[in-house]
């Protein structure tokens, strides 16, 4: 069995007066899409910067391609395609000139797949960066990340600013990458996006990992969500003690429940009140992660 492409062991970074990350332990396999989830400020970007040696850990260690980012950072970055969340480009250059600059840094003789990628993303490479919209600047960032067919793509909020059609093309690029046996480390707070393309996910909260699990396993343990609209708000505690039923949220006369067993007890309890509408669906990744962030813990999620 091949060694993981990325390994983090008790990886820790402390900032003076700011939250960093604490004791992160996870690995990323070759050929998978690894979704790294959390809200802004949770520690996603700090983790990425530690992995590619843009900052140094306070404790613990990381390995990428089995190499130490501290001593082998140049070799690691040569094999990585990195799209930062705070992308900065030289505004006086054209897109083509900017990509030539990136290619020269990597020791490439040409532009690799840049022309093909620009065509797929509908990007005009001959316009100056200064004249590009936010979405088109993001396309330049995507092209430079993919253009040299790296073994590992590290993408921080990659679809920020992209329109839906371009997002679809991005998803296809990710699928092609993993079909080639290469790996994508995708940091995002867009949960439906990660659910769509990731094989496994890690959830980080306030600098600490809450869980690392396959999307398939999370779906297998998903609860059923009931959203019930009443003619008048039922009294507090009206549904306490029902087996396998948790009240998640109240908004005026609408109550959301998580159901982890047969529906019969909940249906009978609802019959005591005037119900206007019921919406039922299986929980998705967003529901599961939001449960974590409400403090219900990994077991509840």
Q: What is the pLDDT of residues 127-162, one digit of tens each?
A: 999 999 999 999 999 999 999 999 999 999 999 889
- For residue 216, report the phi and psi dihedrals to the nearest 5 degrees: -60, -45
pLDDT value of residue 222 = 66
pLDDT value of residue 295 = 57
As a 3-state breakdown, the chain gives helix, strand, coil percent values, each rounded to 5, of 30, 30, 40
Let me know if residue 295 belongs to a domain: no
Given a cut of 70, the residues of the chain with pLDDT beneath it are 1, 17, 220-222, 282-301
Is residue 109 domain-shared with residue 78, that is, in the same domain?
yes
Let me know if residue 294 belongs to a domain: no
Signed CA dihedral, 71, 24, 181, 149: sign only = negative
Torsion of CA 99, 79, 119, 130, to 10 degrees: -30
Is residue 129 domain-shared with residue 141, that is, in the same domain?
yes
Given a contact cutoff of 8 angstroms between Cβ atoms, the answer to whether 38 and 205 are in contact is yes
- The strands making up 18-28's β-sheet, listed across from edge to edge, are 18-28, 6-15, 59-64
Collapse the DSSP code of 289 into the 3-class scheme (helix H, G, I; strand E, B; otherwise coil) and give the result. Answer: helix
Is residue 46 domain-shared with residue 61, that is, in the same domain?
yes
Is residue 75 domain-shared with residue 212, that is, in the same domain?
yes
Is residue 34 domain-shared with residue 168, that is, in the same domain?
yes
Let me know if residue 288 belongs to a domain: no
pLDDT value of residue 169 = 95
Which CATH number is 25's domain given? 3.40.50.300
Is residue 261 domain-shared with residue 117, that is, in the same domain?
no
Let me know if residue 237 belongs to a domain: yes
Is residue 133 domain-shared with residue 183, that is, in the same domain?
yes
pLDDT value of residue 80 = 95
pLDDT value of residue 301 = 46
Query: Which residues, including other chains, have CB under 8 Å from residue 200's CB and lie 6 or more apart?
Result: 32, 33, 34, 35, 212, 213, 214, 215
Could you read off the pLDDT of 64-89 as tens digits, one per residue?
Answer: 999 999 999 889 989 999 999 889 99
Which CATH number is 230's domain given? 3.30.70
pLDDT value of residue 298 = 46
Is residue 211 domain-shared with residue 90, that is, in the same domain?
yes
User: How many domains does the chain divide into?
Assistant: 2
Could you read off the pLDDT of 176-199 as tens digits, one per residue?
Answer: 999 999 999 999 877 778 888 999
Give the pTM.
0.79
Domain that includes residue 268, residue range: 223-282
pLDDT value of residue 24 = 96
Given a contact cutoff of 8 angstroms between Cβ atoms, the answer to whether 111 and 100 are in contact is yes
């Amino acid at each position: 069995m091949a060694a993981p492409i990325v390994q983090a062991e008790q990886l820790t970074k402390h900032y003076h007066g700011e939250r960093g990350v604490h004791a992160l332990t996870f690995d990323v396999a070759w050929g998978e899409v690894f979704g790294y989830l959390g809200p802004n400020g949770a520690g996603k970007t700090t983790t990425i910067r530690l992995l590619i040696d843009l900052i140094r850990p306070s404790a613990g260690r990381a390995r990428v391609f089995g190499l130490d980012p501290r001593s082998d950072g140049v070799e690691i970055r040569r094999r990585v395609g990195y799209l930062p969340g705070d992308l900065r480009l030289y505004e006086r250059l054209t897109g083509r000139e900017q990509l030539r600059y990136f290619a020269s840094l990597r020791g490439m003789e040409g532009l690799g797949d840049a022309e093909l990628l620009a065509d797929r993303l509908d990007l005009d490479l001959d316009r100056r960066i200064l004249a590009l919209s936010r979405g088109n600047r993001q396309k330049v960032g995507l092209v430079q990340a993919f253009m040299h067919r790296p073994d590992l793509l590290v993408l921080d909020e990659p679809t920020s600013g992209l329109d839906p059609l371009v997002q679809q093309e991005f998803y296809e690029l990710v699928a092609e990458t993993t079909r080639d046996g290469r790996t994508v480390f995708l940091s995002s707070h867009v949960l439906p996006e990660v659910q769509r393309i990731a094989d496994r996910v890690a959830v980080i909260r306030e600098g600490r990992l809450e869980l690392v699990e396959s999307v398939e396993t999370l779906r297998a343990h998903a609860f059923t969500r009931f959203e019930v609209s009443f003619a008048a708000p039922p009294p507090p505690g009206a549904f306490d003690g029902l087996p396998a039923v948790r009240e998640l949220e109240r908004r005026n006369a609408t109550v959301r429940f998580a159901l982890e067993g047969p529906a019969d007890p909940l249906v009978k309890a609802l019959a005591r009140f005037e119900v206007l509408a019921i919406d039922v669906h299986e929980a998705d990744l967003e529901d599961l992660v939001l449960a974590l962030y409400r403090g219900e813990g990994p077991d509840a999620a």
